[in-house]
Structure 1
Amino acid sequence: MTTTIEPPEAPEAAPRKSWLREHSELGVSVLLLALGVLVLTDALTMEVDIEQRGPIGPKTVPVVVGIGLLVIAVLLAVDVLRGGRGEAEGGEDIDLSEPADGRTVLLLAGVFLGFAVLIGPLGFPIAGALLFWGAAFALGSRRLDRDPLIAAVLSVVTYAVFNNLLGVPLPGGPLIGAL
């Protein structure tokens, strides 16, 4: 009686990931490329009514940003095609296996929507204070003795910096109109 030893069966090969799945970072590169083209197109077709003084005009920054986006898109694409991969999210203070907290996201979305609705009639100082206080509440702060005061100070300081120092007019609302 002769026994033949057959070679063990090879385990089934794991299904290969598709080429696009292995190079998914190219999606970010395409997005950056499209954004760069959009910024450059908008900057180069912008009509400027003011007389340019010196070499830097209102088109300079958008053109530089657009070119920067295009360069980054190309460099990222080259890196991905050469085998570079983004590092997976480590998240030292978050548990990546847990789902997103939908309640917090909805609260924040509501606070931002409320701010957008209230900034016109109430002005930035009041609407901004509600925004800062609502965001702090949505993110878990329950210090009712401290949070409204911090929100009010942040809002008024932000209003003063933009309106008075930077020359960016923000709606003052009835609070500023009364002063």
Structure 2
Amino acid sequence: MSGGLDVHKVVNEPPSRTLSRAWLRERSELGVSAVLVGLGVLVLVDAIRIHTDFAQRGPVGPKAVPMVVGVGLIVVAALLARDVLRGGRGEAEGGEDVDLTAPADWRTVLLLCGAFLANAALIGVVGFPISGAILFWGAAYALGSRNFVRDPLIAAGLSVLTFVLFNNLLGVPLPGGPLVGMF
């Protein structure tokens, strides 16, 4: 080389590995395509396993929509892969003021996971109105709200409203727990 810095000597990797990593890094959207293919195959396999032992109402059976969704996912994945391999690139994120080099906020993620797990563990014991209030308040706390009077009241209101909407108006039964007779 003519006085320049040899990248392969600095990185201590063979040139083929460096080129393949660079090639993959420039085409990272292929990972999205691979995930879409995996989801499409999963949906198709599940659709094929649907039992049609019950009486069908109308010309379209229960397998139709999942089959269309699965095939659609695979077609979108193929179109995305073709576009990426032809040099297409996704548009850079410009709508948000996010520092992509900043580390992940694992505290917030763990607090949100804790709120969801608490809801899942408590819903059968104390019912949705109480476990939902814990979920809504926990999510608000995890995302930065620290008003300890307003937040639990709003969480309780949202939880009761959600319970009434689903249980009474939409006919989707949710566990009521000790508050079942009140609503």
TM over 0.5: yes
Kept after mapping to 1: 8 A contact 2:50/2:62: no
Aligned to 2:52: 48
Determine which structure has more spread, i.e. the larger CA radius of gyration: 1
Matched to 1:60, the amino acid is A
Aligned to 2:4: 11
Percentage identity across paired residues of the two chains: 67
- Distance change >3 Å, CA 81–CA 38, structure 1 → 2: same
- Distance change >3 Å, CA 177–CA 56, structure 1 → 2: farther
Matched to 2:56, the amino acid is Q
CA distance in 1, matches of 2:111, 2:75: 38
Give TM-score, length-normalised by structure 2: 0.82
Give TM-score, length-normalised by structure 1: 0.83
**Cα RMSD for the two superposed structures:** 2.3
Aligned to 1:119: 123
CA distance in 1, matches of 2:146, 2:28: 41
Structure 2 segments unaligned to the other structure (5+ residues): 9-17
Task: Could you list the structure 1 runs, at least 4 aligned residues long, displaced by more than 4 angstroms after superposition.
Answer: 12-16
Q: Does 1:103 align with 2:107?
A: yes
What is the CA deviation profile of residues 65-97 of structure 1, one whole-angstrom value per residue up to 9, with x for unaligned ones?
Answer: 212211111111111111111233346333333
Matched to 1:93, the amino acid is D
Q: Does 1:134 align with 2:127?
A: no
Aligned to 2:62: 58
Structure 1 position 52, deviation (Å): 1.3
What is the CA deviation profile of residues 92-114 of structure 1, one whole-angstrom value per residue up to 9, with x for unaligned ones?
Answer: 33333322222212211111111
Aligned to 2:84: 80
